[in-house]
Structure 1
């Protein structure tokens, strides 16, 4: 066995903070003690209007756990993950320990490399189908983390209707609009939130889905978006905090697999943020599982601006030591 060095842990934490989160709020904190890495929910960064039960925030932390584990494996360490290890501390979401030797696989390297290239693509996609073999790869990625990825078929029209309905509700909700405004259209150098440069142009026609108003850049000329994007939902067998975390791990593995296959992705979170549409989504997928997030997948015209990340030192808890390095999301 070989002990992990501070450099190894620092690299793993630098990978963890590259996970996606609602409006790039980065709702996580970490504490390091020897071979123990604690992942905690940062309540101050939970969206109280859009995500009052912290479902999406926990998913983001689950995605950070996945990145952490991928980085450790790629550096030759086998992580052991315990979700919700202490019933008395509900915001202690995961405990990751690492020791012994791990034989690094080609898949480990592919996933680790994708962590720093993955980005949310809020701009138009080409009208180019995602091949069946790539869809199968993404489905397998979700299964690997104990979840399911279902490409929408018979549910497509119902789900896109719910997206439009939720977007309409949110566009007329002053509290939601104020919360969204606090986190979007930031300067490019901002260490959190979504910069204006990462937003998309307004569509020049009414499509089958509604794009989040706060993620549109009115300064860009209108553009043609894909007419019927590939949509897929992440499902777990059950609901609850542990399911949120597993869904986040699965979502992130899907996103890394997509990145490695040159497939772009963005989120359609609106129906998960409105109580009435969330209830309808849950009912719609009840026979198959509990829905957690909806992904828009396809091929982008070009690269998009990166969103910032806070330095690792800023998300380390007291006494966790100095094991961070600042990275930028790609």
Structure 2
């Protein structure tokens, strides 16, 4: 394939795709670099956009960076390139999360190109889902998607599901009265935002979804104690369908792998007609994160909890303009 530097407009389009990734509170804690001489993309952590109380060790930051990295890989694969990727390539620069060099050609065996249509369709949906069960074949495909990125995905059921739900409920109750959590919400929620064009980041009030008045779905109330005019209430699922993603180890490189696995699962779920949201509350409390594990299998370190199901697609959340997050170098 052509080994010349990619045109600037193609680099901009690829980063636009990468930045459609999810991140905690939609903080979008990433920056991108493109080096024309080596034809290499850098994915960097933007340490000015961390959540000091909810993410003190930057684990969620790495998850978001991993999700953006997966989107970049998918976008390159769709262009016919093989995205050769190195995680944390420079020990002296821990903010450099990954380096990606498009080589070629992409064989298609990775399955990445087919995920591309979902990149801009995927949005978090904080609305009630149906009680319709996700078919076992689709669950198995989602498990395989996570395994392809060196992560494990499980669907807790019975007593384990109840345990996870109770831990999430406990964490949400703590967050509602925790000053630090409230400060993070105040920083990264946008009130009186009538459209996606009125903010560049954070969670706008039109994406909060209704306040839960019943059901067991583990919903974060982004409004906290604030009133949102016109916001209604709703009954949520009685039997939420949760997916727990874990890794064998718990290092920054594992967080990046988990972020890639998370996004790969979400893109496939979107293509298959599923809606999704996140249930990360218990992961923000060190004493609640460990008990999320299945005590029978004892599988790995929990990195994310996803809520999946059939229901309304969520509205798009704002994104930072590409010129604000991309540096193109000689």
Quote how far apart the aligned CAs of 1:215 are.
Answer: 5.5
Residues 260-288 of structure 1: CA distance to partner in whole angstroms, max 9, x if unpaired? 00100100010011122124335848721
Could you tell me which residue of structure 2 aligns to residue 11 of structure 1? 13
* C-alpha distance 220-310 of structure 1, shift in aligned 2 (>3 A): same
Q: 1:24 aligns with which of 6, 23, 26?
A: 26
What does 1:241-256 align with in structure 2 at a 5 Å threshold?
Answer: 241-256=252-267
Which one is further off, 91-100 or 244-253? Answer: 91-100
CA distance in 2, matches of 1:285, 1:47: 33
Aligned partners of 1:8 and 1:75 also within 8 Å: no
Quote how far apart the aligned CAs of 1:204 are.
2.5
What secondary structure, in the 3-state scheme, does the structure 2 residue paired with 1:66 have?
helix
> Structure 1: which 5+ residue stretches go unaligned?
322-330
SS at match of 1:214: coil
**Matched length:** 318
- 1:193 corresponds in structure 2 to 202
Are the structure 2 counterparts of residues 215 and 256 from structure 1 closer, same or farther at C-alpha, using a change threshold of 3 Å?
farther
Cα distance in 1 between the residues matched to 2:314 and 2:254 = 31
**Alignment partner for residue 177 of structure 2, among 165, 169, 172?**
172
Q: What's the offset of the Cα at 1:213?
A: 1.8
Q: CA deviation at 1:234?
A: 0.6
| Residue 325 (structure 1) aligns with | none
- Residue pair 2:216, 2:236 contacting (<8 A) in 1 also: no
SS in 1 for 2:324: helix
Paired residue for 1:116? 120
1:136-178: CA deviation from partner (whole Å, max 9, x where unpaired): 1111110111111111124211111110111111111122112
1:303: Cα distance to partner?
3.1
CA distance in 2: counterparts of 1:108 and 1:246, whole angstroms = 15
Going from structure 1 to structure 2, the CA distance change for 1:100 and 1:106 (only over 3 Å counts) comes to: closer
Q: Deviations over 1:240-266 (max 9, x none)?
A: 100000000000000000000010010
**Cα deviation code 1:169-216 (max 9, x no counterpart):** 1111122112212211441321111111111111232x3344212158
For 1:104 and 1:191, locate their aligned partners in 2 and report how far apart those are by CA, in whole Å. 34
